[in-house]
Structure 1
Amino acid sequence: MSNYTEIIDKIKNSERILLTSHINPDGDALGSGLALFLALNRYNRIQSQLDENYMDKVVRFVLEDNVPGNLKFLKGTEMIENIKNVNSKYNFDLVICLDSANKERIGSVEKLIGDDSFVINIDHHTSNTRYGDIDCIENISSTSEIMYKFIKEMGIEIDTLIGEAIYTGVVNDTGNFAHSNVTTNTFLLASDLLEKGVDNSKIVREFYNSKSMSTLRLMGKALEDMVYVPEKKLVHLFISIETLKELDAKKEESEGLVELINSYEGSEVSLFLREEEKGKIKGSMRSKHDKDVNAIAKLFGGGGHIKAAGFTSSLSAEEIIEKVKAML
């Protein structure tokens, strides 16, 4: 049983709403957040027309990182704010975290959560730590699929712009409807959004098939440097900050490399490691069959799903690889 009604009541009774999602945002993080952002702005417009005394809610969508280049085609992304440009003393009475399995995943945006802020946690990761005052966790394809149902429950029309954001999130987390997390409800959602004018071919073209030269060079470097461990059926790859600089590539351009290397026919599990600032390493894992990469990611303080999980660690790449190999 969903707790949508409780969440809707909280939104309607709040004045200053912060929306956020995880660091290094992907299509689902940004798509679900943008869909809700656009929906709440539409709610403001409708209520203003119905009631001249209605006071518009302040709704802001803030992320630690910039919008990735392959998601800027979504209208509304230009209104997403970077935490660097937001006054940390601004008082939000409601914070909605999307697609973030734990509070740490939202990065430095966490400093915007005040002592009096009410936190709503909306997510589809089974590893979610349930850190909200209200937790809405559903084991379905994506947080964007949750948002599709939620916005309809709120009585807000899903127009083309909201629909594009939702569709992009679903495409991201289902591998364009190729993963085992796809259900008949996911296809019904897609069918409904197409009827509302969402151009699925445009989204796939812009999101998947429009890559910069630096992204393509990074993909080539990944294929050249990936290492296969046959006895573990593991393929792993490490990309350093220096390599990113050499290729003039942004860190968000490395998204998708974990799936790329896992396409090797002998691989059952892929491990992609990317060096971050301050000695941290971001890890992403994928599994083709029954290997539980969520359990492995939990060893490093991360999580996700059985077939897709991630983490951030202070260990070296070599130490992480050895620990992962020991678990397989």
Structure 2
Amino acid sequence: MKEIIAQINSANRIMITGHINPDGDCVGAGLALTLAINKLNKDNEKIIRFILQDKAPDTTNFLTHSILIEKAKYINTKYKFDTVIAVDCASIDRLGNEIKQFITANTTLINIDHHISNTNYGDLNYVDPKSSSTSEIIYNFIKKLNIEIDLDIAESIYMGIVNDTGNLAYNNVSYDTLMVVAELKKLGLDNEKVVREFFNKKSYARIKLLGEALNNFEFFEEKKLSFYYLSQKTLKKYNGKKEDTEGIVEALRDYDKAEVSLFLRETENGDIKGSFRSNEKDVNRIAKIFNGGGHQKAAGFNTDLSKEEILKIVLNEL
């Protein structure tokens, strides 16, 4: 942590980034860190930009400073950063090719994450799998930097924690997590607002797609697996976006006879994005078979295998 803080203090051109298909923790951690480092930049000597390959979910737009998030395809590739800070990203490939092109031999790559599958790909790595979220880690970094946490930073951090803990419902919530939340509340955080705007509000497409999943999922009793495959055809039927599929894999796991859920979504290029959730079994191990990963009870992957091939492998592994 001390080395990373020293690098941040000495850096001039900083890119903060995160994984492809960003979620609430990726956006929350990145935006909180962006706002915090900007507070160090009193003389405007540093350039700090938060750049992602993919669009941030619309559910994060309620954050006042979400307008700071830039998309990589609109950034001139000749622009040079001396420091790139990747948050909530388990491997360098998960940054996406449009982000990786900004990482050169002269770039110091910092990796801050909480995934157990993290490959320690950075020049400097701070990976804590015991943290509920990367946003919780960023809270501690900001405190170490002696930067005042204002309400905008607090909302970003809390959104990230809410995202990765299921609104503080999962067992990755620790005493330390609750203490961070208590400190944010002491600062004046409106936790109801964050949960309402980010966690509870759902689009028409999201509700319809959840209905499709609950109506049509399969259950493999011997393996105690709930399974659903979403085609592009069904997604487009409701003018849905990938973010409208959030919550499906958790809903499948909530079936009282299920121990594991698997949700597969066909992407626009024909590949498949897979998401696991588990009550007890290690799904991170299975996700690694498809070059994915995450956590023991929550993991994901991308693959060009067919849904039939994926399902066969998963059933065999379970």
**In 2, Cα distance between equivalents of 1:225 and 1:315:** 22
C-alpha deviation, 1:24, in angstroms: 1.1
Find the counterpart in structure 2 of residue 7 from structure 1.
Answer: 4
Q: C-alpha offsets along residues 189-211 of structure 1, whole Å, 9 cap, x if unaligned?
A: 00000011111111111112111
User: Is the counterpart of residue 219 in structure 1 residue 219 in structure 2?
Assistant: no
Provide Cα deviations, 1:103-137, integer angstroms capped at 9, x if missing partner: 11111311221221110000001110010000100
Measured in 2, the distance between the counterparts of 1:219 and 1:64 equals 27
- Whichever residue aligns with residue 237 of structure 1, its letter is Y
Aligned to 2:38: 41
Determine the structure 1 residue equivalent to 2:277. Answer: 286
Deviation per CA, 1:70-125: give whole Å up to 9, x if none.
11111211110011211122111100000010011111311221221110000001
> Would you say 1:143 and 2:110 are equivalent positions?
no
Matches within 5 A, 1:32-111: 32-45=29-42, 48=43, 55-108=44-97, 109-111=99-101
> Structure 2 CA distance, aligned partners of 1:40 and 1:12?
9
CA RMSD of superposed structures (Å): 1.0
Which consecutive unaligned segments of at least 5 residues does structure 2 have? Answer: none
The alpha-carbon deviation at position 236 of structure 1 amounts to 0.9
- Structure-2 separation of matches of 1:320 and 1:234: 13
Secondary structure in structure 2 of the residue aligned to 1:277? coil
Alignment match of 1:248 (pick from 239, 243, 249):
239
SS at the partner of 1:283?
Answer: strand
CA distance in 2 between partners of 1:75 and 1:38 (Å) = 11
Q: Distance in 1 between matches of 2:45 and 2:209?
A: 45
Q: Does 1:193 find its partner at 2:184?
A: yes
- Distance in 1 (CA, whole Å) between partners of 2:84 and 2:17 is 8
> Which of these residues, 1, 4, 16, is aligned with residue 19 of structure 1?
16
Deviation, structure 1 residue 267: 0.7
TM-score by length of 2: 0.97
Counterpart of 1:51? none
Percentage identity across aligned positions?
Answer: 50
- 1:297 Cα shift? 0.3
User: Residue in 2 aligned with 1:313?
Assistant: 303
Long gaps (5+) in structure 1: 49-54
Aligned residues: 316
Residue 121 in structure 1 maps to residue 116 in structure 2: no
Secondary structure, aligned partner of 1:17: strand
Counterparts in 2 of 1:174-213, with a 5 A limit?
174-213=165-204
CA deviations on 1:209-267 (whole Å, 9 max, x unpaired) are: 11111111111111122111111000011111222111100111112211111111111
